[in-house]
Amino acid sequence: MTLERWLFSLFLLLVGVFSKASGAFVGINIGTDVSTLPSETDIVAILKAHQFTHVRLYNADAHLLKALAGSGIEVTVGVTNEEVLGIGESASAAAAWINKNVAAYLPSTNITAIGVGSEVLTTIPNVAPVLVSAMNYLHKALVAANLNFQVKVSTPQNIDIIPKSFPPSTATFNSSWNSTIYQLLQFLKNTNSYYMLNAYPYYGYTRGDGIFPIDYALFRPLPSVKQIVDPNTLFHYSSMFDAMVDATYYAIEAANFSGIPVVVSEAGWPWLGGAREPDANMENAETFNNNLIRRVLNNSGPPSQPTLPINTYIYELFNEDKRPGPVSEKNWGVLFTNGSSVYPLNLGTSGQITGNGSAVFCVAKSDADSDKLQDGLNWACGQGRANCSAIQSGQPCYFPDNLENHASYAYNDYYQRMQSVGGTCDFDGTATTTSIDPSYGNCIFTGSSNSSTSGGLLPPSALSPEVAPGSWSSNLQISKLQLLISAAFPALVLL
């Protein structure tokens, strides 16, 4: 083993130690069906600026993998569905793929996993017979390159391969896939890998014909008369997300396997839909993803596996406007390609938000009492003399139309106007300061580096003094996406 490879192995061992200490992480998927995709260098700059430490790619794009070198970001690379068949039929093709798309970039690019295909069993079932063969061939190629301890192999599958996921305790995999599922689970067990689950409460709710309340899909508290309970275990499920993850654990158990952790490779909510997609809206997307982040970062598992954190990748970084299908299919992104956030996201489970920006903002705490928030909003827009015109109907900051968003805007406007003469960011304990810019889309908060005025439309020239909309430079100032990845390893950056 070369010294470089030995040092890389030591690095990954330390990463493992730190990740266990840090708990669960929230990562991000990067799709590329985008008309004006930023350059690879700029995408990495975005990821670093927003403190993403885990990303999942749907392919093994050479330019992006090269750009990720030295970033420390953990990368899951993808074998495309078009590549699965050839790799599954040829060990030499698998070895060539590993050499070209993994070994060539290690250790500079921190590749830690390979996702073989995307929902192969439900999207290209004719390839299912060679899926596990492809995984085996890739793993053997990793062993030959002495990379099998650094890079895990798995395959993302949709929750739909479990025909009936509720109640979770009775969940089993579709029996028509018994042979493939058994081979898959055996492979994951033998290689100490994990099961990749694509779990979308949005579809669980919209296709559920009203069986479950929307609050259940959005992680909102349910009244006692509407509690979702598994009648066999009496476990209470506070969210559809938890139920989907638990159903997967029970299905794995029903196949006589245990000790295989579940990682959610995709979860999210579209923020814009067509006329027949009323639930795809900005308020629901903001609520879902904020609550998802909070849920994952509390480091607990579903009811049947309470000690196993649910590492999760949000779908997705940018809106993929080139994707076919309904309007909602194109609008899952948390960022616009010009760097602004689609809607504000909270960084973590606490009210205090941290970041690297030089400006300071005042925002409402996500767990604040609603009555106190309303009182604070009324005071700020009244006696406090905040300019609240931007949160009126039809104005840039009206959506998402909820109390927390409106209070945050009013609190910040008051704070920016009055802090020099003693104004504070407290509002009866419902507010906190942050260095993360809460601006999103055309809603600009005073104090942001993008604008010196509040609530105005952001003109194209304001995006950067040097570049036009849709393009990037490495030093472009961008608003900070309020999304914390708890498994960041600042100590390792120093190595």
Cis omega (within 30 of 0) on the bond before 107?
Answer: yes
Same domain, 312 and 392: no
Query: What is the maximum span of the chain, computed from C-alpha positions, in angstroms?
Result: 73
Same domain, 326 and 392: no
Dist. CA 189–CA 257, nearest whole Å: 8
For residue 413, being part of any structural domain is answered with yes
Place of tokens 């700029």: 42
Residue 379 has φ and ψ, to the nearest 5°, of -65, -45
Residue 119 falls in the annotated catalytic set: yes
For residue 449, being part of any structural domain is answered with no
Domain boundary among 434, 456, 483: 434
- Assign residue 269 a region (left: φ > 0; alpha: ψ between -120 and 50; beta: otherwise): beta
Same domain, 388 and 303: no
Same domain, 306 and 388: no
At residue 443's C-alpha, the angle toward residues 439 and 445, to 5°, is 50
Residue 74 has φ and ψ, to the nearest 5°, of -75, 130
Dist. CA 470–CA 468, nearest whole Å: 6
In this predicted structure, what is the pLDDT of residue 346? 64
Burial class of residue 353 (count of CB atoms within 10 Å of its CB; 0-12, 13-18, 19+)? buried
Q: Of 215, 264, 223, which is closest to residue 240 (Cα–Cα)?
A: 215
Same domain, 308 and 400: no
pLDDT tens per residue, the chain (495 residues)?
A: 555 554 544 444 444 444 444 578 999 999 999 999 999 999 998 888 777 889 999 999 999 999 999 999 999 999 999 999 999 999 999 999 999 999 999 999 999 999 999 999 999 999 999 999 999 999 999 999 999 999 999 999 999 999 999 999 999 999 999 999 999 999 999 999 999 999 999 999 999 888 999 999 999 988 888 889 999 999 999 999 999 999 999 999 999 999 999 999 999 999 999 999 999 999 999 999 989 999 998 899 999 999 999 999 999 999 999 999 999 999 999 988 876 788 887 644 333 333 334 578 898 987 789 999 999 999 999 999 999 999 998 888 888 788 988 999 999 999 988 887 778 899 999 998 877 777 776 788 887 544 333 333 222 222 222 222 232 222 222 222 222 223 333 333 333
Quote the number of domains for the chain: 2
For residue 485, being part of any structural domain is answered with no
Dist. CA 253–CA 485, nearest whole Å: 30
Burial class of residue 226 (count of CB atoms within 10 Å of its CB; 0-12, 13-18, 19+)? exposed
Q: Residue 428: give the domain boundaries.
A: 361-434
Dist. CA 266–CA 163, nearest whole Å: 19
Dist. CA 476–CA 43, nearest whole Å: 12
Length of the chain counted residue by residue: 495
Same domain, 407 and 300: no
Residue 283 has φ and ψ, to the nearest 5°, of -65, -45
For residue 343, being part of any structural domain is answered with no
For residue 258, being part of any structural domain is answered with yes
Rg of the chain taking only CA atoms, in angstroms = 23
Structure-block tokens of residue 400: 């998402």
Residue 114 has φ and ψ, to the nearest 5°, of -125, 125
For residue 128, being part of any structural domain is answered with yes
Domain boundary among 293, 317, 335: 335
Dist. CA 168–CA 37, nearest whole Å: 40
Same domain, 260 and 173: yes
Same domain, 391 and 326: no
Q: Whole-model pTM above 0.95?
A: no
Q: Of 192, 406, 441, 227, which is closest to residue 336 (Cα–Cα)?
A: 441
CB 81 within 8 A of CB 118: yes
In this predicted structure, what is the pLDDT of residue 450? 40
Dist. CA 286–CA 264, nearest whole Å: 19
Structure-block tokens of residue 350: 């606490």
Same domain, 295 and 188: yes
Q: 3-class DSSP state for residue 415?
A: helix
Same domain, 90 and 188: yes
The DSSP bridge partners found for residue 431 are 364
Domain boundary among 335, 369, 400: 335
For residue 87, being part of any structural domain is answered with yes
In this predicted structure, what is the pLDDT of residue 226? 84
Buried b (16+ CB within 10 A) or exposed e, 316-334: bbbbbeeeeeeebbbbbbb
For residue 426, being part of any structural domain is answered with yes
Same domain, 321 and 381: no
CATH code (residue 146): 3.20.20.80
Q: Which of 82, 83, 89, 119 is catalytic?
A: 119
Same domain, 182 and 321: yes
Q: Which of 4, 74, 89, 266 is catalytic?
A: 266
CB 195 within 8 A of CB 135: no
H helix or E strand, kind and range, residue 314? strand 312-314
